[in-house]
């Protein structure tokens, strides 16, 4: 649950203003919304939503799936797929080493978990992106896993939900990662032709090539409160249009107001909202609720 440590990662000395968040050895953290000190255990019970102000902290992919699937039970697919480092890429360190280190830290081989289970009694495929895996970036494995999930949805006549949390395409895979945008979009077209619903859930952050492809292609595009959603970052935009951007630009609420999203849904209401939406698309679930396992 170390997402928020990033906020204080610059805190090295005891003089630093944020140093008390480091001194507590990770038991407490300061809410980015209300600046109150929160006990981390409390946050776990609310799936990382501040009980005082409702601020939504980032949530890792496993916790996300546990929250959405009935009884937290799901079957994972393609967990062994890993990047072949097609470009032999080296930045501050070789990409292969970066992948190994990230795998050790997250126990994942790439930035997305594809799973099947039941949501309010209905069989669904859910893909959840992992923001801690190289910024939730999309490389060939992410694209392939989503494409396979789409194909599973078509084969089993099952709706699809993708929960995005991504910095965009993965730099270390260059054009290969950009091609995933076209690949996933084409697969979503086939899902559409099969008359199966796809709901895109955008969480903090959803940017770059992920926003520019599957995250905005849902039959419903819904976001969590306060999520950063955009293509390029605000500084790049300000520099290219030479205008100051309005307050709250690129946050969920702003995008909803300007017609880019269908709804902003709090994390605590997300599962019920998805269940209602799927009922709307497909008719009420034919399977009895007690068949959840
Ligand atoms: Zn708060």
- Say which range, 4-18, 161-175, 213-227, 244-258, has the weakest mean pLDDT: 4-18
Residue 192: CB atoms within 10 A of its CB come to 13
Q: What is the pLDDT of residue 11?
A: 36
> What is the distance in A from the centroid of ligand 1 to the CA of 43?
10
Range 142-152 average pLDDT: 98
Label residue 290 by pLDDT band (50, 70, 90). Answer: low
Using alpha carbons, list the distances in angstroms from residue 234 to 79, 98, 123, 131, 256. Answer: 35, 28, 39, 20, 18
Q: What is the pLDDT of residue 20?
A: 44
Label residue 1 by pLDDT band (50, 70, 90). Answer: very low
Which residue is listed with tokens 């709307």? 280
CA distance 9 to 149: 36
> What is the distance in A from the centroid of ligand 1 to the CA of 10?
21
Range 20-27 average pLDDT: 58
Nearest-Å Rg of the Cα atoms of the chain is: 19
> What is the distance in A from the centroid of ligand 1 to the CA of 46?
12
State the average pLDDT for the chain: 90
Ion ligand 1: residues, CB < 5 A: 31, 33-34, 50, 52-53, 55
> What is the distance in A from the centroid of ligand 1 to the CA of 36?
6
> What is the distance in A from the centroid of ligand 1 to the CA of 117?
32
> What is the distance in A from the centroid of ligand 1 to the CA of 39?
11
> What is the distance in A from the centroid of ligand 1 to the CA of 219?
32
Residue 2: CB atoms within 10 A of its CB come to 12
> What is the distance in A from the centroid of ligand 1 to the CA of 5?
16
Range 170-181 average pLDDT: 96
pLDDT over threshold 70, residue 22 = no
Pick 73 or 292 by higher pLDDT.
73
Range 166-179 average pLDDT: 96
pLDDT over threshold 90, residue 242 = yes
23: Cβ contacts below 8 Å, ≥ 6 apart = 14
Q: What is the pLDDT of residue 13?
A: 36
> What is the distance in A from the centroid of ligand 1 to the CA of 227?
15
Label residue 3 by pLDDT band (50, 70, 90). Answer: very low
> What is the distance in A from the centroid of ligand 1 to the CA of 62?
23
Q: What is the pLDDT of residue 116?
A: 98
């Amino acid at each position: 649950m170390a997402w928020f440590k990033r906020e204080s990662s610059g805190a090295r000395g005891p003089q630093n203003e944020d140093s008390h968040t480091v001194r507590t050895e990770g038991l407490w953290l300061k809410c980015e919304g209300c600046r109150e000190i929160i006990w981390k255990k409390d946050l776990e019970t609310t799936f990382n939503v501040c009980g005082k102000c409702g601020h939504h902290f980032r949530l890792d992919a496993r916790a996300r799936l546990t929250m959405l699937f009935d009884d937290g039970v799901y079957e994972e697919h393609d967990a062994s797929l890993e990047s072949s480092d097609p470009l032999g890429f080296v930045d501050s360190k070789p990409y292969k080493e970066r992948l190994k280190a990230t795998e050790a830290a997250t126990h994942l081989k790439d930035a997305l978990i594809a799973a099947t289970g039941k949501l309010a009694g209905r069989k669904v495929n859910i893909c959840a992106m992992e923001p801690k895996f190289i910024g939730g970036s999309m490389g060939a494995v992410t694209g392939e896993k989503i494409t396979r999930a789409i194909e599973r949805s078509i084969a089993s006549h099952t709706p699809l939900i993708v929960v995005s949390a991504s910095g965009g395409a993965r730099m270390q895979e260059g054009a290969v990662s950009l091609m995933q945008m076209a690949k996933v979009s084409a697969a979503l077209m086939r899902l559409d032709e099969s008359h199966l619903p796809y709901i895109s859930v955008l969480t903090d952050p959803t940017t770059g090539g992920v926003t520019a492809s599957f995250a905005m292609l849902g039959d419903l595009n819904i976001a969590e409160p306060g999520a950063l959603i955009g293509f390029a970052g605000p500084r790049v935009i300000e520099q290219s249009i030479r205008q100051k951007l309005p307050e709250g630009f690129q946050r969920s609420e702003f995008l909803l107001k300007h017609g880019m999203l269908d709804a902003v849904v709090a994390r605590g209401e997300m599962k019920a909202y998805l269940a209602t939406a799927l009922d709307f698309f497909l008719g009420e679930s034919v399977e009895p609720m007690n068949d959840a396992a």
